[in-house]
Structure 1
Amino acid sequence: MELKDFIRETLVQLAQGIEEANMELRSSAAVVNPENVIVDVTGKAKHYGILSASDDIVEYLPSVQAIEFDVAVHATEGKEKSAKGGISVGAMNIGGSGGASESKSSESRIQFKIPMVLPHGK
């Protein structure tokens, strides 16, 4: 897989993951990647930022946490003498099986943060 394809697919899957998470959380107070976040640029706060006040009157401004991800993706591309080649990403294997093989492998790390308003206790 070329780097540009890897980057494209990673970004597409991140965006789809955020959309799907928000759909599943719509009956909750949690929001992934919320709008109108005032980010703490001082670095002194224990949170990423706060939601700015909207037209609705709120008793408090919910804090926004930065959920950090550090994902390692291990890809193996190979040629097998007695079967088709394949690509293996993580625990998922697509392609050939059995026989002697030659393979090239690489590991890519993806680190990112996604802001999220977590539901609060009552």
Structure 2
Amino acid sequence: MELQEFVSETLLQIISGVKNAQEKTNSFGGSVNPRITGSSEYAAQHGFLRTVGGGPAQIVQFDVALTVTEGTGTKGGIGVFAGAINLGSSGQSANENKSISRVKFSVPITLPENQ
């Protein structure tokens, strides 16, 4: 897999995951990636961000190991590496190229308020 394809697919997967989480959290009263005011300096000083509405936004940090598998008879793609389990690959291959990369990213969230 070329670097351009890897970066593109990784970012699309992250965006798709955030969008999916946004749709599911609305019914709980929380939000994923809300509009933020202020700066990262505020977060460093206070331990959280402020939303445009004035509420606190927590930062969820991800550090994910990704495997990229390519070979004859193997469906190429990116999968999350969880221990010895490779989620996202299929097929058998005698000639197989596998690489593991780490991706770190953060997503701000707001938790539902106690009613």
TM range (shorter): 0.7 to 0.9
Q: Aligned pair 1:115/2:108, yes or no?
A: yes
Task: Kindly report the root-mean-square deviation, in angstroms, between the aligned alpha carbons of the 2 structures.
Answer: 2.1
Tell me, in whole angstroms, the C-alpha distance in 2 between the residues paired with 1:11 and 1:74. 15
Q: Is the 8 A contact 2:69 2:89 kept in 1?
A: no
Q: Is the 8 A contact 1:78 1:102 kept in 2?
A: yes
Identify the match of residue 92 of structure 1 among 88, 92, 101: 88
Partner of 2:37: 37
The number of residue pairs the alignment matches comes to 107
Partner of 2:71: 78
1:14: how far off? 1.5
Bigger proportion of residues as strand:
2
1:40: how far off? 4.4
Give the percent of matched residue pairs that are identical in Structure 1 and Structure 2: 29
Q: Gapped runs of 5+ residues in structure 2?
A: 80-85
Partner of 2:57: 64
Q: Is the 8 A contact 1:30 1:116 kept in 2?
A: yes
Q: Gapped runs of 5+ residues in structure 1?
A: 54-60
Q: Is the 8 A contact 1:37 1:64 kept in 2?
A: no
Bigger proportion of residues as helix:
2
Larger Rg: 1
Partner of 2:83: none
Partner of 1:46: 47
Tell me, in whole angstroms, the C-alpha distance in 1 between the residues paired with 2:99 and 2:88. 15
* CA 4–27 in structure 1, closer or farther in 2 if over 3 Å, else same: same
Tell me, in whole angstroms, the C-alpha distance in 1 between the residues paired with 2:13 and 2:70. 21
State the TM-score, normalized to the length of structure 1.
0.73
Provide Cα deviations, 1:20-70, integer angstroms capped at 9, x if missing partner.
2111122222111111433341522121x11134xxxxxxx3111111001
